[in-house]
Amino acid sequence: MTAADALQAKRRRNAIAAIHVARAQLAKHGMDEDAYRALIRRVSAAHGTETDSSAKLDKHQLQAVLDEMRRLGAPRPGRPGQ
């Protein structure tokens, strides 16, 4: 694995982890498993191939899902209260 591949893999893992943190935050405000999967399906379909798993998202879909979760109220990491 090249350094560029390793960096890309790390960014992907970090994005997936951020989605899981946002999911936990939104769950505190009523987002259940079905709503989470529906969000993943809706956003992934709008940005490429539809899926209901964060692990199957490409880098553009990962960012789009994070953006949508933040729009719905999930705070950005390291920014309490936002």
- State residue 81's pLDDT score: 54
Q: Which residues contact 48 (CB under 8 A, 6 or more apart)?
A: 58, 60, 61
Provide, rounded to the nearest whole percent, the portion of the chain with pLDDT above 90: 89
**pLDDT greater than 90 at residue 43:** yes
Q: Would you state the pLDDT for residue 1? A: 81
Residue-wise pLDDT tens digits, 50-82: 999 999 999 999 999 999 999 999 988 765 554
Region 39-48 average pLDDT: 97
- The CA distance from 52 to 56, in Å, is 8
Number of H helices, E strands in the chain: 3, 0
Q: What is the pLDDT of residue 76?
A: 84
Distance CA 52, CA 57 (A): 9
Contacts of 77 (CB under 8 A, 6+ apart): 18, 21
Query: How high is the pLDDT of residue 11?
Result: 95
